[in-house]
Amino acid sequence: MAEAATPAIPENRIQVSNTKKPLFFYVNLAKRFLQQHDEVELSALGLAIATVVTVAEILKNNGLVVEKRLRTCTVDMRDELKDRAIQKAKMEILLGKSDRFDELNAIGIEEEEAKAADEAARTAP
C-alpha cells in the first residue's frame, strides 16, 4: 500500500508559532532568508496569526519588504487531546525584497555590531 505523499515545505517558508520563539527571532530569521532568496513566505495557524502579521508589518515598516500575496484558509486538523477533528484558521504572507533591502539590512547589521561592541566594552573588566 502506497503512503500519501506529503507536500514538500518550500525552503523559503517560515512556520511561525506564538509560543516557541520570541517575535524578533522570526523578524531576524526572515531577514536571513531574504539574504538567500528574493522572497520569504510566513505561515501561521490559529493564534499564531497575530504573530505572523506583526512580523510582516515590522519588516514592511522598516522598508525591507513588499507584500506580494496574502492567503487565508481553514485547515482540518486533529485535536489529539479530545480525539476529534477541528478546523484552524491559516494565514500565509508572501513577502519580497524591497528595492532597498540590501542597503537597509547592511545598515541594521552595522548598528547591531556597534551596539554589541558598546555592550562588550561596558562589561569588560
The answer to whether the beta carbons of residues 89 and 74 sit under 8 Å apart is yes
Tell me how far apart the alpha carbons of residues 28 and 92 are, in angstroms, rounded to a whole number: 18
> What is the per-residue pLDDT for 33?
94
pTM (two decimals): 0.79
pLDDT of the chain along its 125 residues, tens only? 445 555 667 788 999 988 888 889 999 999 999 999 999 999 999 999 999 999 999 999 999 999 999 999 999 888 877 788 889 999 999 999 999 998 888 887 666 666 666 666 666 66
The answer to whether the beta carbons of residues 24 and 75 sit under 8 Å apart is no
> What is the per-residue pLDDT for 112?
67
> What is the per-residue pLDDT for 124?
63
> What is the per-residue pLDDT for 1?
45
> What is the per-residue pLDDT for 115?
63
